[in-house]
Chains A and B, each alone.
Chain A
Amino acid sequence: MSDAILKIKNLKIEFKSGKETVQPIRGVNFELKKGETLGVVGESGSGKSVTSLAIMGLLPERTSKIVDGEINFKGNDITNLKEKQYRKIRGNEISMIFQEPMTSLNPVFTIGQQLSEPLRQHRNMSKKEIEKAVINVLNQVGIPRAEQIINEYPHQLSGGMRQRVMISLALLCEPDLMIADEPTTALDVTIQAQILELMKNIKQENDMSLLLITHDLGVVAEMCDRVVVMYAGEIVEVAEINELFNEPLHPYTRGLIDSMPTQNTRKERLYSIRGQVPRPNEITKGCVFANRCPLAFSKCFEETPPVFARDDHLSKCWLQNTKEGEVV
């Protein structure tokens, strides 16, 4: 169980916009173990979605570039694979669920046509076998009347049903790794509860690893084994789930947890982190969080902190600069 299925080492990604280049991902390191659910938490602009697109090889070719680092999937470096080789992995060994079930299904194809595409692409199966597999997977995600649904179009389904279709699409080729980018953000709470339950079960049944990207700490608490906290294109903290909630080491993580309404006394002012996430072109030297940090001292504005480790609990903050060793 302990071997890593996905390793990301010192990943740096650059985007070109006009004449400027910005670097929204500046040195991201993490590992996803086999069978694990790893949460990636961060606010918009923290670079969590860009990281997941890089893993899928879906970064826009013309305007973006992986300038440094390595993405290692099952022992192979997939950072600079050709599009043709990537196609063999994408949807087959790694699959992805997107945030907006409304926009990520093609409105002019029936559910059945869309669901048979990955099988036609990756598997050598007859039409009948494909239809059987599709109905099978739709049943697995709890869609009633699967035989009729395959002839319907996405607009005929509700949001929750569409997200189930998206999950079944990601499941079809029995991938080893599933990336879910804000899978429940667009859904209502009761539907969110259904979908999270479904994802938990499916992950267990199919022995998959799950990379769950979200901004909702509640969803993380519910689903994940370990958590990576991202801020402004960097990883600021990595910890086991209970440890993260009991003893967050980075002031940003602590701020996020403290600003949840349930952590505050009713009707009182909420704890809040002042200021806002810097844009990639606003980042200066020193710690990226220093200008919002309530505990910042002079060193934070001067030098970028390295990653300090306390057993498996990593954090990128000068406050952790004790005798315990550091890793970079």
Chain B
Amino acid sequence: MAEEALLQVNRLKKYYGISQGLFKKDIIVRAVDDISFTVHRGETFALVGESGCGKSTTGKTILRLTEPTEGEVIFNGTDVATLQYNDMRSLRQQMQMVFQDPYASLNPKKTIKQLLMEPLRVHKKFKEKERLQKVTEMLDIVGLSKEYLDRYPHEFSGGQRQRIGIARAVILQPDFIVADEPVSALDVSVQSQVINLMLDLQKEFGLTYLFISHDLSVIEHMTDRVAVMYLGKIVEVADTETLFKDPKHPYTQALISAVPISHPAENKERIILKGDVPSPANPPSGCAFHTRCPFAMDICRQKEPETLLFEDGHTATCHLYTTKSREELNYVTSDSK
């Protein structure tokens, strides 16, 4: 695969202020705190993490559905973060989003035809006469019959609605799609249908996905590279296969070990993390993970770790690899498998 960067995120930050009343200072929530990554053309890049880690905020900020506080988002050579409203709007032809909840993301008062025509109308694509034909073609591609054109969203099941949501994103033939938990709300048998649809569309249209999910088994199956997020920061980035074989960061190790087994005879060594994710409004000092980390040392409480580069673009942000000698380091990784 050609390593051409389609999207570059540089030191992106998104802070929210929570008002504490007129004379008090706002509490700052660092939802996304200084993250950088690159998505190559044609690949599926995953953001994984638990709820509240900032993965959805990252997705929205890239599309500028919320304004970034600081940082650059370079898409195909243009910095998205500084674009004017109208330019951004037309750029969204090339960047689209699929939302998590197929029940909430389709306007209940519009028919499927209206829903799918709207993006074409807004971006003035095709002649008016051709649009309907495009819509029917698209429905056919996502596996829905054209008899559904005049129906309303409530007449469909969750899986069908998600197909409509995907059709609406793909109909503009974008290069890049942010898929925010596209299959989490679906049943197992429907989930695999939607994953297959996404894989097929990627092949057919050469799409690049930013795939946001908390489900590691789906991520392992369909993505090329993964970034693991914890409390607004990226703690590890690696090729999917490398990440699952050789996770470096203790959080990634725990996350992978927490995935339920797939066969009762399988015997899995568990790292059970203590406690909950701390509040992003009041993150712990030093390395944000030290409160739950089984290997936490003194330095973790005081100093933020730096990002270290391993082979093949595998990076991890953890003190374990800066302070410990090679032998100890091996011990730590093999112990956790």
Given contacts A264-B221, A267-B221, A216 and B190 within 8 Å (CB-CB): no
Q: Please give, as numbers and ranges, the residues of chain B lying within 8 Å of A276 by CB-CB distance.
A: 157, 159-160, 189-190
Are A219 and B260 closer than 8 Å at their CB atoms? yes
Proximity bits, B149-161, A CB within 8 Å = 1, else 0: 0000000010110
Are B259 and A218 closer than 8 Å at their CB atoms? yes
Q: Please give, as numbers and ranges, the residues of chain B lying within 8 Å of A267 by CB-CB distance.
A: 199, 221-222
Q: How large is the interface on B (under 10, 10 to 19, 20 to 34, 35 or more residues)?
A: 35 or more
Q: Using a Cβ cutoff of 8 Å, how many contacts connect chains A and B?
A: 121
Q: Which residue of A lies closest to B190 (CB)?
A: A276
Interface residues of A in 231-275 (CB under 8 A from B): 241-242, 245, 255-256, 259-264, 266-267, 269-274
Q: Which residue of B lies closest to A225 (CB)?
A: B264
Interface residues of B in 258-282 (CB under 8 A from A): 258-266, 270, 272-273, 276-277
Are B196 and A261 closer than 8 Å at their CB atoms? no
Q: Please give, as numbers and ranges, the residues of chain B lying within 8 Å of A272 by CB-CB distance.
A: 189, 192-193, 196
CA distance A269 to B200 in the complex (A): 8
- Chain A binding surface SS class: helix
User: Is A206 close to B, CB under 8 A?
Assistant: no
User: Is A133 close to B, CB under 8 A?
Assistant: no
Proximity bits, B234-267, A CB within 8 Å = 1, else 0: 0000001100000000000011011111111110
Q: Please give, as numbers and ranges, the residues of chain B lying within 8 Å of A193 by CB-CB distance.
A: 257-258, 270, 272-273
Q: Please give, as numbers and ranges, the residues of chain B lying within 8 Å of A27 by CB-CB distance.
A: none
- Chain B binding surface SS class: helix
Are A222 and B261 closer than 8 Å at their CB atoms? yes
CA distance A269 to B196 in the complex (A): 5
Given contacts A217-B188, A222-B261, A266-B241, A260 and B157 within 8 Å (CB-CB): no
Q: Which residue of A lies closest to B265 (CB)?
A: A242
User: Is B329 close to A, CB under 8 A?
Assistant: no
User: Is B50 close to A, CB under 8 A?
Assistant: yes
> Which listed residue, A44, A158, A190, A221, touches B266 by the CB 8 Å rule?
A221
Are B188 and A215 closer than 8 Å at their CB atoms? yes
User: Is B35 close to A, CB under 8 A?
Assistant: no
Interface residues of B in 92-107 (CB under 8 A from A): none
Are B276 and A191 closer than 8 Å at their CB atoms? yes
Stretch at the interface among B15-23, B26-34, B67-75, B211-219: B211-219
User: Is B187 close to A, CB under 8 A?
Assistant: yes
Are B221 and A273 closer than 8 Å at their CB atoms? no
Proximity bits, A182-226, B CB within 8 Å = 1, else 0: 000000111111101100000000000000000111110110100
Give residues in B with beta carbon < 8 Å to A.
50-51, 157, 159-160, 187-193, 195-196, 199-200, 214, 216-218, 220-222, 240-241, 254-255, 257-266, 270, 272-273, 276-277
**List of 10 A-B pairs having minimum Cβ-Cβ separation, nearest first:** A218-B260, A261-B221, A188-B50, A272-B192, A193-B258, A270-B192, A259-B192, A43-B187, A262-B262, A273-B189
Give residues in A with beta carbon < 8 Å to B.
43-44, 158-161, 188-194, 196-197, 215-219, 221-222, 224, 241-242, 245, 255-256, 259-264, 266-267, 269-274, 276-277
